[in-house]
Amino acid sequence: MITHHPVDATLVAAAAGTLPAPHLRVLAVHLAHCPACAGALRAAEAVGGGLLADLPPAPLRADALDRALARLDDPAPLPEPASVTPAVTLAGLATGRWRRITPWIAMMALSPRDTTDSRLDLIRVRPGAALLSHGHTGLETTCVLQGAFDDGTAQYGVGDFAEGDPALDHQPRALPGETCVCLIATTGALRPHGWFGRMVRPMIGM
Ligand SMILES: [Zn+2]
């Protein structure tokens, strides 16, 4: 069962088109598992459309009325069902090459740092193993594709959405059982704690 969802500000940013693309990809995985958030995003997009409708009127084309009347016969668009499509499954996403970071952690770069200083990666962690203790200089969003992890405050399973901001310092640990695989978007850089983290950071380019 999904228990962790994006905050409203993240859905509003997605609806407004201001959420960087890597974070949108992570959000899409959550939405595929979560009809409630998918509906909330559609509502936020509708509010955005409503705001546009409140703008001062602009001159219409001469045939605007005929075109509007013609569209009344169009079938109403059906709401998109929240379903897990191949584009958001682990098999669909993991098209690159895994790079071993430590004996228990591997990463796959999916999209390099973009103009918003955001990048998209898959991370794979052996059951029971912990990531390096770290913070961030910007937004980090994570969605679990397989297995589960605990970040010290809560447990996250498949479909759960985790967000961290620069105030968050954490050391996620994969739960025993299945290998944990997550899709992670990061804006800015990692702030690793400890000599090992600082040593590994250049290796992973974060
Ligand atoms: Zn949700």
CATH number of the domain at 180, please: 2.60.120.10
Q: What's the gap in Å between 36 CA and the centre of ligand 1?
A: 6
Task: Give the number of domains in the chain.
Answer: 1
Q: What's the gap in Å between 203 CA and the centre of ligand 1?
A: 33
Q: What's the gap in Å between 56 CA and the centre of ligand 1?
A: 35
Q: What's the gap in Å between 54 CA and the centre of ligand 1?
A: 29
Q: What separation in angstroms does the CA of 137 have from each of 92, 118, 168, 169?
A: 29, 11, 9, 10
Dihedrals phi, psi of 24, to nearest 5 degrees:
-60, -40
- What is the C-alpha separation between 122 and 185, in angstroms, rounded? 9
Q: What's the gap in Å between 98 CA and the centre of ligand 1?
A: 28
Q: What's the gap in Å between 128 CA and the centre of ligand 1?
A: 26
Give residues whose Cβ lies within 5 Å of ion ligand 1.
5, 34, 37
Range(s) of the domain holding residue 188: 1-206
The H or E element containing residue 184 is strand 180-187
Q: What's the gap in Å between 187 CA and the centre of ligand 1?
A: 21
Name the band, by pLDDT with cuts 50, 70 and 90, for residue 79.
Answer: very low
Q: Residue 97: what residue type?
A: R
Q: Answer with the residue of higher pLDDT: 78 or 144.
A: 144
Q: What's the gap in Å between 161 CA and the centre of ligand 1?
A: 7
Residue 174 · residue 129 · CB < 8 Å: yes
User: Tokens at residue 139, please?
Assistant: 């937004």
pLDDT at 81: 47
- What is the C-alpha separation between 150 and 157, in angstroms, rounded? 9
Residue 145 · residue 189 · CB < 8 Å: no
pLDDT (tens digit, 9 = 90+) per residue, 18-64?
999 999 999 999 999 999 999 999 998 888 766 656 666 666 677 76
* β pairing state of 134-136 and 155-156: unpaired
**Average pLDDT for the chain:** 83
Q: What's the gap in Å between 2 CA and the centre of ligand 1?
A: 7
Helix (H/G/I), strand (E/B), else coil: 106: strand
**pLDDT over 60 (residue 80):** no
How many alpha carbons fall within 13 Å on the CB side of residue 28?
17
